[in-house]
Amino acid sequence: MAKQSPSYHFAPGDTVSAAGKHSQPYPWEQRKLGDLGSVQMNKRIFKDQTSESGEVPFFKIGTFGKKPDSFISKKLFDEYKSKYPYPEVGDILISASGSIGRTVVYEGEDAYFQDSNIVWLEHDGRLKNSFLEQFLKRTKWNKIEGSTIKRLYNKDILNKKINLPKLKEQEKIGQLFQYLDKTITLHEEKQCQLEQLKKALLQKMFADETGYPVLRFKGFTEKWEQRKLGEIATIVGGGTPSTKNPEYWDGDINWYSPAEIGNQIYTEKSERQITELGLKKSSAKLLPVGTVLFTSRAGIGKTAILNKEACTNQGFQSIIPRSKMLNSYFLFSRTNSLKQYGETMGSGSTFVEVSGKQMSKMPLFIPNINEQSRIAKLFQSLDKTITLHDKKIQYLKQLKRGLLQKMFV
């Protein structure tokens, strides 16, 4: 049997070190999964055995761990669980059709799983489940059979080759990735909680047609004033210098297109820049710091705040708040309202677009600038924390991908 060593060795003392000629790692042994165990599958449940409500959730692999597809009776569950194969706590369920190769760990809850979608591997003590889980997550199932619906067959799983280290190393590797998965999940849950909090505050901290919000900071009691957006801000369109004239391009003035406005709050740097001459020879306008960029076509309603003077192409109707009348971040926090209004008022045969004139007529309830600032600071803090969690999640996922590539052979 083939024996190989991983590019990284999870050494004693819970540290990860590069494996090389000085580290003397144990060689990994290559085996087929079928040498280590056999595939098991739940007995089939038919549609007429399920209902919209019941005692035991019935899942397909795509919904396992979330909302069940339907339910079965506790009597049927107990009967099938006692008579037929059923996973034990810690067993890894593998999707065999649909989203092929998706894995989840069974944690012992009363639930039944679609037999045609889920299999699991019963194996002996030579293979740690925590190690197997990570192996299956990175496995690419090639040459899947099926004309209409592709399916992973038992033989595909049993013939799959796996490289195994000693049990102690398997356990250490499994623990490392379980820790990473748990940490990622905790950050995702926290991010979700913050997003739900933000959503609730957006609904309660901005005034409705009565002119009063449900929640307010202490000391603010005045009714909010309804104004048109054009009365408290200047709406500015954009333009594009001729692309045939090289003197207009590759300057030092940021020039944005709608495709560049993603989920960032503050703009950093545009993909392309124009020159002073390009600005002068086009309908583009130089926008000040604090301008809220607003895409008016090709996806109406994406926003970002300028942190450096810049201009845009004609796919924007950018909003420049008037001093002491409108706070930039307060307005940015109303992105959903701006988007909804723009989509409602937009028109066009080739693509939907909203004009600056239409945006200037948008009605908006606003408090005095001091209350705006307090509200803006709250949402700015929330957005910053959400962004930090997102960056941490992306970093941990990238770290996990890198370790999966280097710690398995």
359 in the same domain as 234: yes
Domain end (from 365, 381, 396): 365
Give the confidence band of 409 by pLDDT, cuts at 50, 70, 90: low
Q: Which domain holds residue 124?
A: 31-164
Taking the C-alpha atoms of 399, 401, 402 and 407 in order, what is their torsion angle to the nearest 10 degrees?
Answer: 110
Counting residues of the chain whose pLDDT is more than 90, the rounded percentage is: 63
186 and 217 inside one domain: yes
Contacts 24+ apart (CB under 8 A), 61-69: 61/93, 61/95, 61/98, 61/99, 61/102, 61/104, 61/113, 61/114, 61/117, 61/118, 62/95, 62/98, 62/99, 62/102, 62/117, 64/93, 64/104, 64/111, 64/113, 64/118, 65/104, 68/111, 69/114
Q: pLDDT-derived band of residue 186, with 50, 70 and 90 as boundaries?
A: very high
Does 272 lie in the same domain as 198?
Answer: no
Whether residue 343 is found in the same domain as residue 281: yes
Res. 196: pLDDT tops 50: yes
Same domain, 19 and 37: no
Give the pLDDT score at 172: 94
Number of domains in the chain: 3
**Residue 7 confidence (pLDDT):** 47
Same domain, 196 and 261: no
Q: Do residue 249 and residue 328 come from a single domain?
A: yes
Looking at 149, 164, 179, the residue that finishes a domain is 164
Let me know: does 128 contact 162? Beta carbons within 8 Å. Answer: no
The CATH number for 57's domain is 3.90.220.20
pLDDT in tens, 96-146: 877 788 888 888 889 998 766 667 777 778 888 889 989 988 888 876 666
Residues 107, 138, single domain; the answer is yes
pTM of the model: 0.80
The pLDDT tens digits of the residues spanning 211-243 come to 999 999 999 999 999 999 999 999 999 999 999
Of the three residues 146, 164, 182, the one that is the final residue of a domain is 164
pLDDT in the model for residue 11: 42
Same domain, 129 and 207: no
| Interior/surface letters 147-167, b for 16+ CB within 10 angstroms, e for the rest | eeeeebeeebbbebebbbbee
Q: Are residues 288 and 215 in the same domain?
A: no
Please give the Cα distance from 296 to 201 (Å, whole number): 26
Query: Residue 11 is part of a domain; what is its CATH number?
Result: 1.10.287.1120
Looking at the fold, whether 129 and 175 belong to one and the same domain comes out as no
